[in-house]
Amino acid sequence: GRAQDGGAQRCREEPLMSGNGAVWGRVRSRLRAFPERLAACGAEAAAYGRCVQASTAPGGRLTKDLCAREFEALRSCFAAAAKKSPRGG
């Protein structure tokens, strides 16, 4: 058979970013700011929620891609919010 120690060798390597407090500080900063950024997507979230609610109400029928346009607008807003820097950029 083949030797299967390649994976074990990788596990012994030092973990990525160990001892790098600056990186974790930036990550924490971005995570703390994220709820405020997502709040800017309220209109998109409300539109998507209305679409889903209407389709699940009595007589409604939720089907795949029924609210795709609203979902895509919300996803795009979230993606834009996630890209902003902690300094407001």
pLDDT, position 14: 46
Q: Where are the domains of the chain?
A: 42-84
Higher pLDDT, 39 or 7: 39
Burial of 89 (0-12, 13-18, 19+ CB in 10 A): exposed
pLDDT, position 37: 79
With cut-offs at 50, 70 and 90, classify the pLDDT of residue 21.
confident
Say whether pLDDT at 30 is over 60. yes
Integer Cα distance of 74 and 49 in angstroms? 10
- Could you tell me which of 38, 55, 48 has the C-alpha nearest to residue 73? 48
Output the CA angle 75-81-85, nearest 5 degrees: 150
Task: Kindly report, residue by residue over 44-75, the tens digit of the pLDDT.
Answer: 999 999 999 998 888 888 888 999 999 999 99
